[in-house]
Amino acid sequence: SSPSPTGKIVSSKGGLRVNQAFENVSSFLKGRNFPGTVRVSGSRPGAATSAKTPARSGRVSASAAAAKRDETGPAGDGERRQPAVGAATAQPTATAACEKNGAAPGVPTPSGGASAPTLDAARTAAAAARDTPRDGLGGAGEVAGARSGSGAAPVTAAAASWTNLHSARDKKFERVLAEPIVNLKELGELVWSGCPVERRPICWKLMLGYIPPNADRREEVLGRKRHEYNNWVQQHYEIDDAERSEDELAILHQIQIDVPRTAAVVHLFHKPEIQRSLTRILYIRAIRNPGTSYVQGMNDLVTPFLAVFLSEVFTADDMNLWDVSTLTPIELCHVEADCYWCLCKVLDSIQDHYTFAQPGIQKICFKLSELVRRIDEQMHGHLKREDIDFLQFAFRWVNCLLLREFPFSLVPRLWDTYLAEGDSLNDFLVYVCSALLLKWSDQLKKFEFQDIIMFLQHLPTSTWGHSELEIILSKAHMWRTLFGRAPSHFLR
């Protein structure tokens, strides 16, 4: 092959496909600046070329991809999930205590079960995103940034290719989770890029250390922790107000004010059963951890866990269709206890966000300012000239881990990456905030103080799909790779 007079690559074999791929990449990179070098490599010399091989730049419609996934994916949509294996073989003492307040020990099998539920209303939103491209970007399941012509008919070969890709990824999760002792490092690498909906509950529990990687011990550990939480509810929550101290009454009062405000646009969190669970979780966490107690914003951090762990019971794609009144007391107690322990794991890793003066949040906001100055000095200078302190808009971002800045349908995917980061969450959060802020750099440079603040407090992300979120996470990863291990880059 050799360059043509137009600069395109011409080859006697497959030249048309190479040229199309080159145009797609050129179209995506047009007007964008990326540090480093962009390399375009071809296939290995001598690689066979077949008419049956799907073009990599082909676009897959949502309906075709979803149909293929439904044909080959796990069963269970539209059915009620069967009880987890081991739920009926719990310790007698734990069973007795849980039955009183609606709990019973038990844990799903490592493989996640045969009839796994579907959570993500994101699937619905992403499907719409794939069928109706926004800014030329595809939805979930497509390579972030790939461009193709709108209105093109679905390509059967390409749909099959994507189905095979997702099938191979699912098999990797299945293989890792089926091991007697799960390799958490390998699992974390898979979860970072997004977890299959049906495997998300067990993956999150493993990544947070709520259940052990040793499959033989999970049932016993899960039963013990659920029993322990149940005892604390009876000891601290199910008592008369006369038995509470003034501080405890103040904490409970503040939680009861904040819970109805949680995730205002998600109907699920305004159902009485869920709000009572939220109140119990937050109150027990505050009483058991007086160092941080309860701080506004913690209520938002419970919502991803509630949504994901409820998906083990309900199978409808739309969370607003979940009828929580049909939950048995045992099922609700299981979900509540799991949410409590997982919330504790997350808060323990960012504890300085919620201690006096919240030094952890201030530190992240300072790092954010320095990183923005390094990446886009003009943007940083404009904010400075407008007397805008990063704390004025980034405090809420960090306090709620950006939960309020994205549609809730994207939150579970965002938290896949958060939980895979483990102890590095604080560090990575700086880069995610930077990527989110600088996405609108060109617009913000034209705004004045009031317009900037209003814009950053109400980001136009309500119509975002998975593709937009993937670009933010990819940029954050790229910038961390460039600057994360070279702090001197931040110095003038």
Q: How far apart are CA 410 and CA 88, in angstroms?
A: 34
Q: How many CB atoms lie within 10 A of CB 61?
A: 17
DSSP secondary structure letter of residue 154: P
Q: How far apart are CA 358 and CA 220, in angstroms?
A: 37
DSSP per residue, 87-135: TTS--HHHHHHHHHHT-------TT--SB-----THHHHHHHHHHS-BT
Mean pLDDT of the chain: 77
pLDDT confidence of residue 160: 61
What are the φ/ψ torsions at residue 161 (nearest 5 degrees)? -65, -45
DSSP secondary structure letter of residue 267: G
pLDDT confidence of residue 182: 97
Q: How far apart are CA 422 and CA 184, in angstroms?
A: 11
Kind of pairing, strands 2-3 and 9-10?
antiparallel
Q: Which of 443, 405, 428 is nearest to 475 (CA)?
A: 428
pTM for this model (two decimals):
0.70
pLDDT confidence of residue 16: 46
Query: b/e string for 126-165 if b means 16 or more Cβ within 10 A?
Result: bbebbbebeeebbbbbbebbbbbeeeeebbeebbbbbbee
DSSP secondary structure letter of residue 325: G
Q: How far is CA 486 from the centre of its chain?
A: 27
DSSP per residue, 443-469: HHTT--HHHHHHHHHS-S-TT--HHHH
Instruction: Note down pLDDT in tens along the chain; length 492 residues.
Output: 444 444 444 444 444 444 554 455 444 444 444 444 444 444 444 444 334 333 333 333 444 444 444 444 443 333 444 434 333 333 333 333 444 444 433 333 333 333 333 334 444 444 444 333 333 333 333 333 333 333 444 456 655 665 666 788 899 999 999 999 999 999 999 999 999 999 999 999 999 999 999 999 999 999 999 999 999 999 999 999 999 999 999 999 999 999 999 998 899 999 999 999 999 999 999 999 998 999 999 999 999 999 999 999 998 888 888 999 999 999 999 999 999 999 999 999 999 999 998 999 999 999 999 999 999 999 999 999 999 999 999 999 999 999 999 999 999 999 999 999 999 999 999 999 999 999 999 999 999 999 999 999 999 999 999 999 999 999 999 999 988 877 666 554
DSSP secondary structure letter of residue 9: E
Query: b/e string for 303-334 if b means 16 or more Cβ within 10 A?
Result: bbbbbbbbbbbbbbbebeebebeebeebbbbb
The residues near 171 (Cβ < 8 Å, ≥ 6 apart) are none
210, 342 in Cβ contact below 8 A?
yes
Q: How many CB atoms lie within 10 A of CB 10?
A: 14
What are the φ/ψ torsions at residue 403 (nearest 5 degrees)? -60, -35
113, 438 in Cβ contact below 8 A?
no
pLDDT confidence of residue 71: 43
**If DSSP codes are grouped into helix, strand and coil, which group holds residue 302?**
helix
Query: b/e string for 462-481 if b means 16 or more Cβ within 10 A?
Result: eebbbbbbbbbbebbbebbe
Q: How far apart are CA 483 and CA 35, in angstroms?
A: 11
196, 122 in Cβ contact below 8 A?
no
Q: If you search the block for the tokens 């250390």, which residue do you land on?
A: 209
Q: How far is CA 163 from the centre of its chain?
A: 22
DSSP secondary structure letter of residue 235: I
What does the block give as tokens for 34? 């990326």
pLDDT confidence of residue 158: 56
Query: b/e string for 238-266 if b means 16 or more Cβ within 10 A?
Result: eeeeeebeeebeebbebbeebbeebbeeb
Residue 277 is which amino acid? Answer: S
Q: How far apart are CA 84 and CA 104, in angstroms?
A: 11
What does the block give as tokens for 491? 């110095």
pLDDT confidence of residue 159: 56
pLDDT confidence of residue 167: 80
Strands (E), 275-380: none
Q: How many CB atoms lie within 10 A of CB 118?
A: 20
402, 433 in Cβ contact below 8 A?
yes
Q: How far apart are CA 492 and CA 477, in angstroms?
A: 23
What are the φ/ψ torsions at residue 137 (nearest 5 degrees)? -105, 140
Q: How far apart are CA 76 and CA 312, in angstroms?
A: 11
pLDDT confidence of residue 101: 43
